[in-house]
Amino acid sequence: MVVLVVLLVVLLVVGIAAAIAALIVSRRRLAEQIRLTADAERRAAAGPQPVGPDSDIASATPPPAIEQPEVDAEPEVDAEPEAVIGPQSEAEPPAAIEPESGTESGADAGFPAASAVAESSSAASLWALERARSERTWRYSVSLGPDSVSVFQSTDEPLLAALQVEVDAAREEVGTVVHLDAVVPSGMSDEASLLTLRVAQEVLAPVVRQGEQATLHVRADGADILITVTLLDADEQPVTLDSFEIPSSASIEPIEGGVRIRNVVVAEPS
């Protein structure tokens, strides 16, 4: 008990001493701050002090002025002497550049040929893409297995092979018995082949679900290609087909039972 009382007394004394020390330090700081504030107010009341001759500012000398070089007046320019025209100094006008023979004059001379080449290249690219799509359809819908040889590797008539793929794929996907009756003229361009295949797809697609048997006919009629479909019901009776919703244009004409494609067959040279 005595020890506890002694300990409390010691702590009390230490606390009082710490408080007294803190108070002394605070009073010293406050006095210093009051002194500094008074000095600042006294200086502000006295105003700016004059600069004496011995001060650094007064002794500072201005930098020497940079001398500007004198600019001579521009010399008078003598009048240009007249050119002496002699027999060898006469300037001859440049000869006009004549266009080469066989070419058209003007900036658009080579445009028609370039446009034809671009159209031919585009048609070839589109036909190659359509053949790739047709081969993919054959691979996934018609072929017997992944190791089957592509039908396009063993034929010289890719358009006829692509038409057969469309017929076989429709039979596998829909269940309707579909046949192909086609005679493709030789010498058809890439553009004509692409147009024929796309029209055949649009003609065949809406009718294979309307009957039990269908036949896709592709025949040449002069310079045109006729694409028609015959459809039979379960009793093998002809089914009347609705008109095909194919937009008419300068190259395509909807007809009864199909479509006529104009001017796509190139006449063979005699």
Q: Check which CATH number belongs to the domain holding 220 and give it.
A: 3.30.565.10
25 found inside a domain: no
Q: Residue 221 falls within a domain, yes or no?
A: yes
Distances (CA, A) of 193 to 99, 130, 200, 204, 251: 40, 10, 11, 16, 13
Looking at the structure of the chain, the number of domains it has is: 1
| Domain ranges, residue 247 | 150-261
Q: Is 248 among the domain residues?
A: yes
What mean pLDDT comes out for the span 178-198?
92
- The reply to whether 160 falls in a domain is yes
Q: Is residue 226 assigned to a domain?
A: yes
Q: What is the pLDDT of residues 86-98, one digit of tens each?
A: 444 444 555 555 5
191 vs 186: which has the higher pLDDT: 191
For residue 238, the 8-state DSSP code is: B
Q: Is residue 58 part of a domain?
A: no
Query: What's the longest Cα–Cα distance across the chain?
Result: 141
Of 33, 32, 13, whose CA–CA distance to 21 is shortest? 13
Q: pLDDT tens digits, residue range 121-172? A: 788 999 999 999 998 998 888 887 777 888 888 888 999 999 999 999 988 8
Distance CA 128, CA 169 (A): 20
User: Does residue 141 contact residue 173 with C-beta atoms inside 8 Å?
Assistant: yes
Q: With beta carbons less than 8 A apart as the criterion, state whether 105 and 99 touch.
A: yes
In a domain, 204, yes or no: yes
- Give the whole-angstrom CA distance, residue 185 versus residue 165: 18
Q: Is residue 8 one of the residues assigned to a domain?
A: no
The pLDDT of residue 255 is above 80: yes
